[in-house]
């Protein structure tokens, strides 16, 4: 018994010793191991800094791809940044005199605890762990509808479709009606209601159009579903899409503007399965009959009373007086009950109180000659052409020009600016930027009149298919293009001798004529969607010497036809992804050229001396020409009227002046000759050129200056990317850009020579691969001068 008692006492004393001694020892170590605790903190902080930098880069890349970031990743980064800030606070209190025992004890304890947290953070995070997930598909939110109204006569039709969907027994429905009657609007309203009532887990809506592009339809559906279709072949994509649509989620697929029986199986859209319901819209009821679609509703024109109510809503209160109400009702009646016509004419006459104008509008609607107008747009032609007549000359040009593009095309405003500058559409714009602003203004005016629609983003615009049909007829009447040129997707043997504009967007390889005999032609667009071989004979340009604009995209040819040199009037030359084109020397003979854009032309290796003859150039864009290694010295300095120089992703071999010695490449000093420069986007491979003493145009308002290799890039109007591996005395031109830059990325220890007090306009700042001392110096400067609400730092 005594032995047992003794053992218990011994055990209790040992345990008590552990409880009492261990904490005392730990507290004592805080004081004795001050230096080692600080060193451990620095070591772990460096690891955490590198891990955080790498993770932040991945996060930013994911966000640029509109992917969602997992909450745990956001939490990890917040904790990492918080602890790295603690480390900075600790470092700021060092050194502490050895006799200040209390301060050394407290700081050492804080360093030790911070180090443990950092170790845990590093242990929790593995480089291979996923950080993001695809963004929710567009169908998770409401689909934009545009102009709409709750017509009483349409409510029952809409409700009938909803009842069929609620029943869950119908897997294919159709909405039929003439162009402009409101089929698309109805389909979008139903899609939104179905999602709102949770009848489906997801909705996809795509435009099929008259010229069926199966690849585009597949990709359109997959984007709504958040499905990546990386296979290039249509059958492989169809298999993946079909598997997805036959899965556990209930999906509503809306196929809008169907002209002929869609090849559902080839597209990968399953029919007859409960998980996938298909809603189609078409002008042709025969499509639904051939597909044996049982649930088909027809949309008729609006009755006179509803049409008048809708028209009055669009035209405003000006028609409420006795002088105008009767004539306004007659104008509304001439719109034939078509919602699109009522909107467009109403917008054209909005707030118009002048009775003679209303009388003239009615006269034109009642007395127009429809002979030769295609049957399928006769009803809508009069009201839309009337709206066209209310436009000024510039608005008319933009409106008609947009009909050159395919149905449902996303039309780039930037491209419109290049083309309009080449066609001299605007008489009063003095430079490229003014042309851009004029395009934006006119597009907005046309959207306000419902003649154009919102594009997929702020930089694009679309045109309703019915409006486009009418615009093509109007353009053909004015000899701008041929209304029979329905082969906008490919060449047809047809006489285009009177055409002014020709555009082609082929889906398959086409055969061009040996000589393009269209002497009045001023614009030629040939745009493929993927690389395609094409043969242009040497005589091809022989008969189109008046050409102002030439745009070729994704064409495979190695050199221009010899007759290219005859295009003396050419002002705009756009070449995109013509990846086999090697030599552009002949372009130097086009002395009036103002826009020269060679984007992603991967086989161009040199900007030859001949380009220096293009003294009227406003835009020179060789972005992403990855093989461009040489710019002949003196070429850039000759382009004295240049407004924009863009070479991101291509040429990096800028050289320094060599005191009379011959150079192989262009020098930064040549940029000093460009007094009209407003945009400069260049990459510089030699970081020592940051010390060059050059004076650039004071008109530069947009720039991206990249030194060395930058693998990750955010897009800002004003951005600086500086990789400075060692200390360099920066030139004044660098400091000038730093004062206004919105984005700044610094890499390397040379960054600590930078005084961030001058950086006053910054929104995003990154620095990486700096030594500990450099990082601390940069952070301390930044912390003092910048509102961190818009700041993202890479430690």
pLDDT number for residue 703:
94
Chain centroid offset of residue 493 CA: 36
What are the residue ranges in the chain where pLDDT is below 50? Answer: 5, 7-9, 11, 13, 16, 139-140, 483-490, 493, 772-773, 775-776, 783-795
pLDDT number for residue 365:
77
Distance CA 88, CA 133 (A): 33
Judge if 154 and 280 occupy the same domain.
yes
pLDDT number for residue 487:
38
Residue 532 lies in a domain: no
Distance CA 530, CA 556 (A): 10
Residue 591 lies in a domain: no
Name beta bridge partners: 723: 747
Judge if 118 and 199 occupy the same domain.
no
What confidence tens digit (pLDDT) does each residue in 361-393 have? 888 777 766 666 666 667 778 778 888 888 899
Distance CA 714, CA 519 (A): 45
Q: What is the CATH number of the domain that holds 191?
A: 3.40.50.300
- Are the CB atoms for 745 and 770 separated by under 8 Å? no
Query: Which residue among 233, 264, 298 closes a domain?
Result: 298
Tell me the H-state helices in 258-338: 264-267, 285-291, 304-315, 322-333
Judge if 150 and 286 occupy the same domain.
yes
Judge if 181 and 211 occupy the same domain.
yes
Judge if 58 and 158 occupy the same domain.
no
- Are the CB atoms for 109 and 26 separated by under 8 Å? no
The boundaries of the domain holding residue 3 are 1-27
Residue 772 lies in a domain: no
Contacts of 713 (CB under 8 A, 6+ apart): 706, 719, 721
Residue 196 lies in a domain: yes
- Are the CB atoms for 501 and 523 separated by under 8 Å? yes
Q: Is 633 exposed, middle or buried (0-12, 13-18, 19+ CB in 10 A)?
A: middle
Question: How are strands ordered across the β-sheet holding 251-258?
Answer: 202-209, 251-258, 276-282, 172-176, 295-298
Cis peptide, bond prior to residue 95, ω within 30 of zero: yes
Beta strands in 370-466 (DSSP E): 411-412, 453-454, 460-462
pLDDT number for residue 26:
57
**DSSP output for 537-560:** -TTTTTT-TT--EEEEEEEE-SS-
- Are the CB atoms for 344 and 361 separated by under 8 Å? no
Question: Which tokens go with 11?
Answer: 């055990």
Judge if 126 and 101 occupy the same domain.
yes
Total domains present in the chain:
3
Residue 40 lies in a domain: yes
Residue 37 lies in a domain: yes
pLDDT number for residue 781:
53
- Are the CB atoms for 151 and 347 separated by under 8 Å? no
Which phi and psi (to 5°) does residue 631 adopt? -120, 115
Q: What is the CA angle 94-97-103, rounded to 5?
A: 70
Question: Which tokens go with 182?
Answer: 């409101």
Judge if 103 and 203 occupy the same domain.
no
Judge if 161 and 254 occupy the same domain.
yes
Judge if 1 and 63 occupy the same domain.
no
Dihedral over Cα of 642, 643, 644, 645: its sign:
positive
pLDDT number for residue 524:
92
pLDDT number for residue 513:
85
Q: What percent of the chain is helix, strand and coil (3-state, nearest 5)?
A: 45, 15, 40
Name beta bridge partners: 747: 723, 768
pLDDT number for residue 97:
76
Judge if 127 and 142 occupy the same domain.
no
Judge if 85 and 224 occupy the same domain.
no
Residue 149 lies in a domain: yes
pLDDT number for residue 93:
79
Query: Which residue among 230, 264, 298 closes a domain?
Result: 298
pLDDT number for residue 588:
95
Query: Which residue among 298, 333, 349 closes a domain?
Result: 298
Distance CA 485, CA 671 (A): 46
Write the CA distances from 684 to 281, 565, 655, 721, 767, integer angstroms: 54, 33, 9, 10, 19
- Are the CB atoms for 143 and 188 separated by under 8 Å? yes
Residue 422 lies in a domain: no
Judge if 148 and 283 occupy the same domain.
yes
């Amino acid at each position: 018994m005594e032995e047992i008692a003794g053992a218990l006492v011994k055990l209790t004393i040992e345990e008590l010793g552990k409880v009492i001694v261990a904490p005392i020892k730990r507290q004592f170590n805080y004081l004795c191991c001050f230096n080692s605790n600080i060193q451990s903190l620095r070591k772990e902080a460096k690891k955490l800094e590198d891990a955080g930098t790498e993770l932040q880069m991945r996060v930013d890349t994911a966000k640029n791809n509109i992917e969602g970031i997992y909450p745990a990743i956001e939490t990890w980064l917040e904790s990492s940044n918080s602890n790295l800030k603690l480390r900075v606070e600790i470092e700021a209190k060092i050194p502490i005199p050895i006799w200040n025992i209390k301060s050394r004890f407290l700081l050492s304890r804080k360093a030790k605890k911070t180090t443990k947290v950092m170790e845990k953070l590093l242990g929790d995070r593995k480089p291979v762990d996923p950080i993001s997930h695809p963004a929710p598909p567009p169908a998770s939110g409401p689909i934009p509808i545009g102009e709409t109204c709750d017509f009483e006569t349409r409510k029952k039709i809409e409700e009938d479709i909803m009842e069929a969907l609620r029943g869950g027994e119908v897997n294919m429905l159709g909405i039929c009606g003439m162009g402009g009657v409101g089929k698309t609007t109805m389909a979008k309203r139903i899609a939104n209601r179905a999602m709102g009532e949770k009848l489906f887990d997801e909705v996809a809506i795509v435009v099929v159009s008259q010229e069926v592009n199966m690849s585009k339809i597949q990709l359109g559906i997959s984007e709504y579903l958040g499905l990546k279709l990386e296979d290039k072949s249509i059958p492989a994509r169809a298999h993946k899409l079909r598997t997805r649509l036959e899965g556990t989620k209930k999906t509503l697929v809306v196929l809008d503007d169907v002209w002929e029986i869609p090849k559902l199986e080839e597209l990968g859209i399953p029919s007859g399965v409960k998980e996938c319901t298909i809603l189609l819209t078409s002008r042709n009821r025969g499509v639904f009959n051939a597909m044996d679609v049982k649930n088909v509703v027809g949309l008729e024109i609006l009755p006179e009373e509803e049409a008048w109510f809708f028209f009055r809503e669009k035209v405003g209160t000006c028609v409420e007086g006795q002088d105008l109400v009767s004539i306004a009702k007659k104008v509304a009646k001439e719109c034939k009950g078509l919602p699109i016509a009522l909107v467009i004419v109403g917008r054209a006459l909005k707030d118009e109180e002048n009775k003679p104008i209303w009388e003239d509008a009615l006269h034109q609607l009642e007395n127009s000659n429809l002979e030769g107008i295609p049957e399928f747009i006769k009803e809508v032609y009069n009201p839309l052409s009337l709206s066209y007549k209310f436009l000024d000359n510039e608005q008319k040009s933009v409106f008609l020009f947009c009909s050159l593009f395919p149905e449902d095309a996303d039309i780039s405003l930037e491209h419109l600016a290049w083309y309009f500058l080449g066609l001299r559409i605007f008489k009063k714009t003095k430079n490229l930027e003014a042309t851009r602003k004029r395009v934006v203004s006119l597009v907005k005016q046309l959207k306000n009149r419902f003649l154009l629609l919102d594009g997929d983003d702020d930089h694009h615009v679309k045109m309703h298919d019915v409006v486009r049909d009418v615009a093509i007829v109007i353009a053909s009447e004015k000899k701008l293009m041929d209304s029979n040129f329905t082969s906008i997707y490919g060449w047809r043997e047809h006489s285009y001798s009177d055409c002014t504009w020709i555009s082609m967007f082929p889906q398959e390889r086409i055969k061009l004529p040996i000589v393009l005999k269209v002497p009045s032609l001023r614009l030629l667009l040939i745009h493929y969607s993927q690389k395609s071989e094409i043969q242009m004979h040497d005589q091809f340009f022989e008969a189109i010497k008046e050409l102002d604009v030439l745009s070729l995209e994704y064409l495979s040819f190695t050199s221009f036809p010899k007759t290219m040199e005859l295009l003396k009037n050419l002002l705009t030359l756009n070449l995109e992804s013509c990846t086999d084109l090697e030599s552009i020397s002949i372009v130097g003979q086009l002395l009036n050229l103002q826009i020269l854009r060679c984007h992603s032309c991967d086989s161009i290796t040199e900007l030859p001396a001949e380009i220096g003859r293009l003294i009227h150039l406003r835009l020179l864009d060789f972005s992403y020409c990855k093989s461009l290694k040489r710019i002949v010295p003196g070429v850039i300095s000759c382009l004295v009227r240049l407004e924009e120089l863009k070479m991101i992703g291509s040429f990096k071999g800028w050289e320094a002046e060599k005191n009379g010695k011959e150079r192989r490449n262009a020098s930064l000093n040549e940029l000093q000759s460009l007094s009209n420069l407003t945009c400069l986007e260049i990459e510089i491979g030699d970081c020592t050129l940051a010390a060059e003493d050059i004076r650039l145009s004071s008109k530069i308002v947009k720039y991206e200056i990249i030194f060395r290799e930058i693998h990750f890039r955010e897009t800002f109007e004003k951005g600086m990317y500086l990789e400075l591996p060692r200390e360099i005395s920066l030139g004044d031109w660098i400091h000038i850009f730093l004062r206004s830059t919105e984005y700044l990325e610094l890499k390397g220890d040379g960054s600590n020579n930078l005084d961030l007090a001058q950086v006053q306009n910054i929104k995003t700042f990154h620095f990486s691969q700096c030594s500990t001392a450099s990082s601390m110096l940069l952070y301390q400067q930044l912390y003092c001068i910048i509102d961190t609400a818009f700041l993202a730092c890479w430690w």
